[in-house]
Amino acid sequence: MILQMKRNARLLLKGNLARGAVATLILFSVALLFKTLEVITQTVLELSGVSASVKSALNLPGLLGNLPIASPVSISVTAGFLILAFAVMAPLVMGVKAWFFGLSGGDNAELSAIFHYYSGAKLYFKSLLLLLDICLRSFFWLYVLILPGALLSATGGALLTAKLNVPNGRLLGTLSVAVGVLLAVLGLVFALVIITRYFLAPYLFAQNAQLRVRQAVKTSVRYMHGSAGRLVLLLLSFMLWALASLLVLPALYAFPYAESTLAIFARFTIERGRMADNDAGQPAPQPWEQEIPAPYPQTGEEEY
C-alpha cells in the first residue's frame, strides 16, 4: 500500500520535479539564513565580551557558576532567532504544503503560490496560529509521554554513579535505567501516533481558509481516526531518504518526493473522512488503492 502511494507520488513529480526542487531550495535557504544570522550574532557577542560579562554579573552561586552552561545572552539570542524564524517561515511551510496538496488534486499552480499566506494579514496570522497550535500540542504530548521514562533513567543513572549507601543500589540503578529507556521509547512511539492526528490540519486549511484553527485541528483528529498507524509507517519508509538528504543534494529530490506522497495520503484521507461524515453508501477509498485523481472542481472558498 505504501509502495502504491509512492508510485503515485513519482508520477505526480513528472514535470513538476524542477519546481519542487526550487521550493525545497527556497525553504531550506530561508532556514539556513536565520541559522547563519544567529551564529554571526553569537560570535559578535562572544568576541565583544558581552556574553561573558552578563554571565559573570549574575554571579551564579556555588557549583552553578562553574557549570559550562550557556550565558543568558546566548540563550536569549537563540530564542529570539527561533521566534523570528518561526514567524517568517510558518506561512512559507504552510504554503509549500498547500502547493504540493494542489498538485495532488491536479491543480498546476505557479510556484509563487507557496507565498500565498503572505498575501494578507488574516491569512498570515491564521497560518501562523495553526502551525503554532500544532507545535504546542505536539510538544505537550512529547513532554508528557517521554518525561516519566527520562526521569526514571536519570534516577537510575544517579544511583549508578553516586556513592550512596543504598542496599542493592547498582541493581536498582541498572533496572531503573533499563525500564526508563523502555518507557521513554514507548512514550515516543505513542506520542508520534497522537501527533499524527494533527497531520491533516494544514491541508484542510489549504482547501478552505475560512476554517478556524480549532476547527481545522478537530476535523483533522476526526478524519485521522484509524489512519495514524499507516501515516507513521509511511513516514518511517522515508528514513533512508532522510539520511541521504544529509548530503544536501539528495534532498532536492527526497523532499518533493516525501511531500508529494504525504499530500496524496492527505487528500484521500480527507475524502474518506468527508464521505464518512456524509454517510455515503459506498466504502471510502483507501490512499493506496487509487491513482492520482483528476483535477478537483474549485470553489471560491477553496482557491489559493
Torsion of CA 14, 107, 224, 280, to 10 degrees: -120
Residue 294 forms part of a structural domain? no
Cell triple for 133: 497550535
pLDDT of 145 higher than 60: yes
Question: What would the DSSP string read from start to end of 206-275?
Answer: HH-TTS-HHHHHHHHHHHTTTTHHHHHHHHHTTHHHHHHGGGSTTHHHHHHHHHHHHHHHHHHHHHHHHH
Cα–Cα distance for residue pair 165/16, rounded to 1 Å: 67
- The per-residue pLDDT for 48 is 65
Q: What is the pLDDT of residues 117-127, one digit of tens each?
A: 999 999 999 99
Cα–Cα distance for residue pair 279/294, rounded to 1 Å: 23
Residue 74 forms part of a structural domain? yes
- The per-residue pLDDT for 300 is 39
Non-local CB neighbours of 170 within 8 Å, separated by 6+ positions: 159, 160
Cell triple for 297: 472542481
Helices vs strands, H then E, count in the chain:
11, 0
Cell triple for 215: 476547527
Residue 167 forms part of a structural domain? yes
Cell triple for 146: 517521554
Please provide the average confidence, as pLDDT, over all residues in the chain.
84
Residue 296 forms part of a structural domain? no
The count of C-alpha atoms lying within 13 angstroms of the C-alpha of 127, restricted to the half-sphere facing its C-beta, is 30
Number of structural domains, the chain? 1
With contact defined as beta carbons under 8 Å apart, do 216 and 205 qualify?
yes
206: how many CB neighbours lie within 10 A of its CB?
Answer: 27
Residue 295 forms part of a structural domain? no
Q: What band does 56 get if pLDDT is binned at 50, 70 and 90?
A: low
Q: What band does 301 get if pLDDT is binned at 50, 70 and 90?
A: very low
Residue 144 forms part of a structural domain? yes
Q: What is the pLDDT of residues 62-101, one digit of tens each?
A: 444 444 445 677 888 889 999 999 999 999 999 999 999 9
Taking alpha carbons only, the member of 136, 133, 115, 111 closest to residue 124 is 115
Domain of 63 in residue numbering reads as 2-289
With contact defined as beta carbons under 8 Å apart, do 129 and 164 qualify?
no
Residue 301 forms part of a structural domain? no
* pTM of structure: 0.81
The count of C-alpha atoms lying within 13 angstroms of the C-alpha of 134, restricted to the half-sphere facing its C-beta, is 27
